[in-house]
Amino acid sequence: MSRLDKLLAGWTFRTATPTFEPGEVITAYVSERNGDGLTVRIGDSVIRVEDGGGAAVEDKVRLEVTSFDATNHVGTGEVVEVLGPDA
């Protein structure tokens, strides 16, 4: 990312409920763990993962979005890679 891009990023009003496309791969922190499953909140949008692998709360994961309902801001996804907690 260039210096100018860094300076110009985010000069917008970002929604509380971002939307995602199926097939999109995103990086995010795990918000909650429920049994084997994970909940990832991006703002007020929620992506649920059935098999969370070894990921814990606050771990960063690479996530493939498998479905997303833009009306209710809820989707499902699969963990591609567990990146782990921040240093």
Give the binding site for another protein (CB under 8 A): 1, 3, 6-7, 9-16, 18, 20, 26-29, 31, 40-44, 58, 60, 86-87
d(CA 3, CA 37): 39
Residue holding tokens 């049994």? 35
Nearer to another protein, 9 or 35 (CB): 9
Structural contact between residues 49 and 81, judged by C-beta atoms closer than 8 angstroms: no
Nearer to another protein, 41 or 53 (CB): 41
Shortest separation between residue 28's beta carbon and another protein, angstroms: 5
Residue holding tokens 């939307």? 19
